[in-house]
Amino acid sequence: AQTVTQSQPEMSVQEAETVTLSCTYDTSESDYYLFWYKQPPSRQMILVIRQEAYKQQNATENRFSVNFQKAAKSFSLKISDSQLGDAAMYFCAYRTHNNNDMRFGAGTRLTVKP
Amino acid sequence: NAGVMQNPRHLVRRRGQEARLRCSPMKGHSHVYWYRQLPEEGLKFMVYLQKENIIDESGMPKERFSAEFPKEGPSILRIQQVVRGDSAAYFCASSGPARGTQETQYFGPGTRLLVL
């Protein structure tokens, strides 16, 4: 079974500071994809960043970057220079190349303090 | 460039009524996925469809729930004889057909279903 675990139900960060959200997953597959989605109060699911497992280089999108540790099955999200608009629920998600569905973690609620 | 569209955004039904949720995928996308999100939880996969075909419905409840994606028009998630436990946010996502576009799913704004 493929499961995704987010061990931090809530996190808080000061505006302009850096925060890291944790995610681990369990799989026996070698070809898969990992995602971070953001869900603000509007509840829209917004893709933040994605990582292909076969790529060793960590993905980066502006202030968002990941630390992908394939052997440890860890996929953390780092948000630099946090902004008030970053406040949201963040979901880590996993999908294999062959499976049709994505498996989501339970989410981490991020609060940004001014 | 319209994203994934869902309607209605909010739907209120009484127990025993039917709920119909609609999803139009992004332009050029032919794969549609439905997910359900209960309060304070992550999304749970329900069904994956391509045009006129249900590819994977392993996450669908066995009764009362059905989905379709006709040749013309949006994908429909249908819930018959709704119960209070069906109250949730239902999200639709779409992806492209080819490798390189299929892996990433883009989500619609969701439909919040409330069953009274």
Residue range B40-63, pLDDT digits in tens: 788 999 999 998 899 999 999 989
pLDDT of residue A29: 86
Q: Do A33 and B58 touch (CB under 8 A)?
A: no
- CA dist., res. B77 & res. B21, Å (int): 5
pLDDT of residue B28: 85
- CA dist., res. B94 & res. B104, Å (int): 8
Mutation target among B23, B29, B45, B69 for the A interface, most CBs of A within 10 A: B45
Residue B39 — pLDDT band, cuts 50, 70, 90?
A: confident
Instruction: Find tokens 């439909």 and name the residue.
Output: B111
Q: Is B90 an 8 Å CB contact of chain A?
A: no
Q: Is B44 an 8 Å CB contact of chain A?
A: yes
Residue A82 — pLDDT band, cuts 50, 70, 90?
A: very high
Q: Is the pLDDT of residue A97 over 60?
A: yes
Q: Which residues of B65-85 are buried (b: 16+ CB within 10 A; e: fewer)?
A: bebbbeeeebbbbebeebeee
- The arithmetic mean of pLDDT across residues A65-84, rounded, is 96
Q: Is the pLDDT of residue A2 over 70?
A: no
pLDDT of residue B101: 57
Q: How many CB atoms lie within 10 A of CB B103?
A: 17
Q: Do A43 and B48 touch (CB under 8 A)?
A: no
**pLDDT tens, residue by residue, A16-63:** 999 999 999 998 888 899 999 999 988 888 999 999 998 889 999 999
- The arithmetic mean of pLDDT across residues A60-82, rounded, is 96
Q: Which residues 6+ apart lie within 8 Å of B46 measured at CB?
A: B33, B34, B35, B36, B57, B59, B60, B65, B67, B77
Using CB atoms, which residue from A4, A47, A101 is nearest to B33?
A101
pLDDT of residue A107: 94
Q: Is A75 an 8 Å CB contact of chain B?
A: no
